[in-house]
Amino acid sequence: SPGTEWVSAAERPGGSLLTRQLQELWRRSRGSLAPQRLLFEVTSASVVSERSSKYVLYTIYLIRSGQFDKAPATIARRYSDFEQLNRRLRCRFSCDMASVAFPRKRLRRNFTAETIAKRSRAFEQFLSHLHSIDEIRRSPEFLEFFFLPDLQAAQRLTCTGMYREALATWANAYRLQDRLGVCSSGRFLLTLAGLAVCHQELDQLSEAHGCCEQALQLLEAQGSHPLLGPFLQAHVHLAWKVGKDKRRSEARLQDLREAGLPLQQQPSLKECLIKERLE
């Protein structure tokens, strides 16, 4: 039957691991409200030459102290990205930033191994210092430095139908938000929508269903959210495909109908992703 084809496709290796990771991250993030100590480690630095410019790209892992993360949360940033973050934070948090050191720009010898090694350590200390200051750690300027570029890239890839590449990028954005402790924000719901859409497009239906379940748990307390209707409709459709219980979502959809929400005009999750302005 077509149903069994869907299920066997959903259980292909490669898909199921992500859902287990998501569920595990979800359980951990719900149980730890206190900020965990994060370590920022520059794991590599490479010199990139473009047509008219040359710069060093630093790859940084976000690591929870005392835990082994099978799939690391990573970012790749250049000096000018750090400089922009430093400038924005000094504008908004001048008192807090007074004690934060930032590596000065050099006119020469930017590409020597010694300079790159010193800068790598300086950037690790810079991010650790920022993360230790409550106001800064929770600020959009600090948080979006980490995950906004991935969300923008994942959105572009999803819109152009490059679902496998998009899935990896949404998953990294998920891990970054998890490490930073912002698993209840609107950006996080958008990330779950991106994961659900890409899994569905890649026929990993159990994984897509799991992402919808997680989003609906987050939306439990909210009677009206732009993503609530789309997530409920996706959940009902996917639950039917993978043979899971869909009655609760159907009941919530009925409640929305009775409250006057025109569900026929509700966008799909994919349409929500395409329309969202990520700036």
What would the pLDDT profile of 112-150 be if each residue is shown by its tens digit? 999 999 999 999 999 999 999 999 999 999 999 999 999
Place of tokens 């008219």: 52
Q: What is the DSSP letter of 157?
A: H
Rounded (5°) CA angle 254-258-264 = 70
User: At residue 3, does pLDDT exceed 50?
Assistant: no
Residue range 228-276, pLDDT digits in tens: 999 999 999 999 999 999 999 999 999 988 988 888 888 999 999 999 9
Q: How far apart are CA 207 and CA 21, in angstroms?
A: 11
What sign results for the dihedral spanned by CA atoms 41, 47, 49, 52? positive
- Note the CATH architecture for domain 146-278: Alpha Horseshoe (1.25)
Report how far residue 20's alpha carbon sits from residue 161's, in angstroms, rounded to the nearest whole number: 25
Domain boundaries, the chain: 36-138, 146-278
CA distances in angstroms from 206 to 40, 203, 209, listed in the order given: 33, 9, 5
CATH dotted code for 36-138: 3.30.1520.10
Band (223; pLDDT cuts 50, 70, 90): low
Could you tell me if 192 and 230 are in contact, meaning their C-beta atoms sit under 8 angstroms apart? no
Rounded CA separation 217/188 (Å): 13
- Please work out, in degrees rounded to the nearest 5, the angle formed at the alpha carbon of residue 228 by the alpha carbons of 224 and 233: 140
Q: What is the dihedral of CA 245, 167, 154, 25, to 10 degrees?
A: 70
Alpha-carbon distance 210 to 204, whole Å?
10
Structure tokens at 248: 């609760």
